Amino acid sequence: MRIIRNSVPSRDGFYMPGEFEPHEGCIMIFPERPDSWQYGGYAARRAFVQVAEAIGESEQVTVCASGAQYDNARAALPPHIRVVEMSSNDAWARDYAPTFVRNAAGEIRGIDWGFNAWGGLYDGLYFPWDKDNQMARKLCDLLNVDVYDKRDFILEGGSVHVDGEGTCMVTESCLLSGGRNPRLTKEEIETVLKGYLGADKVLWLPCGIYHDETNEHIDNICAFVRPGEAVLAWTEEESDVQYAMSEACLEYLGNATDAKGRHIRVHKLPLPKPVTVTEEECRGLDACWDQPTRIPGERLAASYVNFYIANKSVVMPGFGDPADEKAKDILQELFPDRRVVQIYARDILIGGGNIHCITQQIPAGRRR
């Protein structure tokens, strides 16, 4: 594997394809840490396995597991899913597996962004994060793809969405947060995104989902379903703090055009009723250093937008909420060529994210 330090992907003709384009595979990480995953992670691991199985029906899934969990992961996952031993601090493949870019000849390369657990010592979520930060490079080595070194820029994969046709979407609340790249201006951040993702235009939605501990990643509020079309997490409950947040995003998108000059068609995807953590769930979580990770009654950032687009399916979360079915029907209509699979995801949500956050696609293409 070559580590590329003296160029940027766009200069070399590389760009990030849309998630709805064909994949070679998907990367996941087996969950383990007891301050993220309640009661020893058993329920979370079951949910992760269901996600891996659903995605594995139409693409090669690789699951990274610690040495301690390797045998367990191998036993829990079907034989066509590959398990490799790789250390990590937690299980958020979206955020610290590589972002993959491709060129016109179909060659794939990775990007190794800096990772500091969603805000480092400023407002990050755990310490240390050194093993997570090594994963992108290790995975590029494993997959035999060259990697761009961009560790001097803090970025999680869940904080960007692209349409593969020159448009990138982010939230201001995350990309401009004090714990990531505080010495860079918005314009300088935009220049990095364009250079590395091969984008011509960056759409800056103001915010994401209320109480999303990632400083409101884009992948929980809004996602492209194809170029020119996106879904936006939505509530009709005006008294809910999320109402103004979703409305601000809708207004922004209503006035925006993408890199090709198109107005973006926005489909509202209903949110479930607020999901809060129970006392029983909190009792099953270890403290992170000397602090509880969750407190009873705390609202979790539940959203159906946090889905993964696989080659032949869309794998989306369910919460046991009356809106589960409606959200599934909307996505099924938007993805007529894929089967929408809904997985009960409360046990992933308690960790702080959802199905999109625990997966990272490898676009179809040619490896070195």
- Cβ-closest position to ligand KQY: 353
Q: Is 310 in the site for ligand KQY (CB under 6 A)?
A: no
Q: Is 357 in the site for ligand KQY (CB under 6 A)?
A: yes
Both tokens of 335, joined, read: 């993805």
9 or 208: CB nearest ligand KQY: 208
Give the list of residues 6+ apart from residue 334 with CB closer than 8 angstroms, or none. Answer: 225, 229, 231, 267
Cβ 344 to ligand KQY shortest distance, Å: 18
Residue from the set 98, 272, 353, 365 that interacts with ligand KQY by CB under 6 A: 353
Q: Which of 297, 257, 258, 304 is nearest to 280 (CA)?
A: 297
Cβ 125 to ligand KQY shortest distance, Å: 4
Cβ 199 to ligand KQY shortest distance, Å: 21
Exposed/middle/buried for residue 124 (C-beta within 10 Å: 0-12, 13-18, 19+): middle
Residue from the set 125, 253, 269, 305 that interacts with ligand KQY by CB under 6 A: 125
Looking at 54-62, 198-206, 335-343, 347-355, which segment touches ligand KQY (CB under 6 A)?
Answer: 347-355
Cβ 351 to ligand KQY shortest distance, Å: 5
Q: Is 26 a catalytic residue?
A: no
Q: Is 92 in the site for ligand KQY (CB under 6 A)?
A: yes
As a whole number of angstroms, the longest Cα–Cα distance in the chain is 54
Q: Using CB under 6 A, which residues numbered 143 to 202 contact ligand KQY?
A: 158
Instruction: For residue 120, give Cα distances in angstroms to 130, 194, 209, 315.
Output: 11, 24, 21, 30
Q: Using CB under 6 A, which residues numbered 218 to 277 contact ligand KQY?
A: none
CB of 314 within 8 A of CB of 337?
Answer: no
Looking at 243-251, 277-285, 328-336, 345-353, which segment touches ligand KQY (CB under 6 A)?
Answer: 345-353
Residue from the set 164, 352, 363, 365 that interacts with ligand KQY by CB under 6 A: 352
Number of residues located near ligand KQY, criterion CB under 6 A: 13
CB of 145 within 8 A of CB of 110?
Answer: yes
Residue from the set 4, 15, 36, 148 that interacts with ligand KQY by CB under 6 A: 36
Active-site amino acid positions? 357
Binding interface with ligand KQY (CB under 6 A): 36, 92, 94-95, 125, 158, 213-214, 217, 351-353, 357
